[in-house]
A = this chain, B = another copy of it.
């Protein structure tokens, strides 16, 4: 069953265009992570947060990615990492026009 991984963490930047340019190679490499279907990159310069919303093929892939990602962030000096793996409630999400064609 497909799973949604929600990650956010305290982050001091770079944000916006600078982030896009700096992390393009990282984004490309994320396409090669096992079971990764898509990622929405999230950022909040005001609250100093970074994060991502991911869709994975199953829980094991999502869990393995979360562990790898958390370790990589800690190496970069990021301390507070919040990660949760969720089921998607498809009937309710469908009512609310969620972009879920990959989940069906």
**Interface residues in chain A, defined as those with a beta carbon under 8 Å from any beta carbon in chain B:** 4, 6, 8, 15-16, 19-20, 23-24, 27-28, 30-31, 36-45, 47, 49, 51, 53, 84-89, 91-93, 95-102
Chain B nearest CB from A6 CB (Å) reads 6
Tally of this chain's copies: 2
Q: Please pick, from B27, B38, B87, B96, the residue contacting A43 in the complex, using a CB distance under 8 A.
A: B87
Main secondary structure of the interface of A (DSSP, over half): mixed
Partner of A42, one of B6, B8, B39, B40: B6
Cβ contact within 8 Å between A38 and B97: yes
8 interchain residue pairs of minimum CB distance: A99-B99, A42-B86, A39-B96, A41-B89, A20-B91, A27-B95, A41-B92, A38-B97
